[in-house]
Structure 1
Amino acid sequence: MTTPTLTEPSTRTVVAQRVTDALEPKNWLLVITLAVGWHAAGWSGVAWGVVAGIFSGVLPILWIKWGERRKLWGDRHIRRRQDRLLVIPGIMVSVGSGIAVMVAFDAPRELLALVAAMMAALAAFLLVTTVWKISFHTAVPAGAVAVASLAFGWWALVAVPLVAIIGWSRLVLSAHTFAQVVAGAAAGAGIAAAVFMWLR
């Protein structure tokens, strides 16, 4: 067995990075918007889910990549807390624009409630980020699972272990502390569930 060198990441680190990349927030957002869209209005709801996914997942990642190319911040995971104070407002502009489009063209209420929950979480996390680097990587999937359990039933909670695995990956990569991982999951689930239930 070869011992990992300083320039060669361990198998554990490689797996953690793959988990982080494969289960990043954007992917959860695209899945939950399509799923809730289908639940709300069938195929027309799926079309609205695509719209919601573009404003909440696709445009934000394009914004992040734009800043990355110009070296305004690091990679798409935005590791520095200070950089997140620039990134989050841009994402909020995209999500807010999506809400405006959805309201203007009478999108399904349940899907609108989901996107509004995203905006509420972003606003709360922006405030927290001024002093602390809370985990978006656990917040988004935890919020998605919470919304899915309300929309589809308790069986959606089978996805909870995925949130734990993501948290593990963030710890292995030294991207967050344990408290930041747990707080992200708790706040993400709590805000998403409360706003979704209130507005749906």
Structure 2
Amino acid sequence: MLLVGWHAGAAPGVSRWWGLPGALFAAGIPLAYVLRGVRTGRLTDHHIPEREHRRVPLLFGIASVTVGLVALIVLGAPREVLALLAAGGTGLLVFTAVTHWWKMSIHAGVAAGTAATLTALYGPAALLSLPLVLLACWARIRLSAHTPAQVVAGAIVGALIAATVFPALSGS
């Protein structure tokens, strides 16, 4: 989100810091909700390993992204920041629907989606981020948080959503 905001700020008269409120609504507020759930004992840890406990935090994340998207539209945020929030919200909707039956890796989806978004914005040089995607995927398997199939599916879904929704809405 910060790199997208920075890219959007390259246009004259646009702040490079629009990614900060986007990051707050997409990650900061949902993470605070999850950490509060851990502190109160409703959730076992911030990774929410139990598939059946993921639905409410994911719905909260969707609500946070939606409120953020509306607020940033009203405030006149750049199109690229809005497109990334919309792509992230789309990803949350898909992962929330799938979570009812299967625990697809959201970490892998975000990592792959980030690489796809950065590639849409910065071109082939952003493909240098792919080792970080592989590292995130390896870590989810190594920690026994997901099966290889859950990680691969998450990465594919995240990359496909980012590679279609973000460019379509941002004009990139």
Q: TM-score, normalised by structure 2?
A: 0.94
Report whether the alignment pairs 1:39 with 2:18.
no
Give me the whole-angstrom Cα distance separating, in 2, the residues matched to 1:144 and 1:104.
25
* Residues 48, 54 of structure 2: 8 Å contact kept: yes
1:61-76 aligned within 5 A: 61-76=31-46
1:72 to partner: Cα distance: 1.0
Amino-acid identity (%) = 41
Residue equivalent to 1:97: 67
- Secondary structure of 2:131's partner? helix
Report whether the alignment pairs 1:189 with 2:164.
no
1:162 to partner: Cα distance: 1.2
Give me the whole-angstrom Cα distance separating, in 2, the residues matched to 1:172 and 1:196.
30
Q: Aligned-pair RMSD on alpha carbons?
A: 1.1
Question: After superposition, what is the alpha-carbon deviation per residue over 1:31-54, rounded to whole angstroms, capped at 9, x for unaligned?
Answer: xx1111111124844321111011
1:108-147 aligned within 5 A: 108-147=78-117
Residue equivalent to 1:23: none
Give me the whole-angstrom Cα distance separating, in 2, the residues matched to 1:156 and 1:142.
12
Residue equivalent to 1:160: 130
* Residues 14, 78 of structure 2: 8 Å contact kept: no
One-letter amino acid matched to 2:6:
W
* Residues 39, 45 of structure 1: 8 Å contact kept: no
Q: TM-score, normalised by structure 1?
A: 0.81
Question: After superposition, what is the alpha-carbon deviation per residue over 1:106-159, rounded to whole angstroms, capped at 9, x for unaligned?
Answer: 110011001100000000111100000000111001101100000011111111
Give me the whole-angstrom Cα distance separating, in 2, the residues matched to 1:149 and 1:140.
14
Of the structure 1 ranges 118-127 and 46-55, higher mean CA displacement relative to structure 2 is found in 46-55
Which segments of 5 or more consecutive residues in structure 1 lack a partner in the other structure? 1-32
May I ask how many residue pairs the two structures share in their alignment?
A: 168
Residue equivalent to 1:48: 18
1:195 to partner: Cα distance: 0.5
Which segments of 5 or more consecutive residues in structure 2 lack a partner in the other structure? none
Of the structure 1 ranges 89-98 and 38-47, higher mean CA displacement relative to structure 2 is found in 38-47
Give me the whole-angstrom Cα distance separating, in 2, the residues matched to 1:78 and 1:55.
19
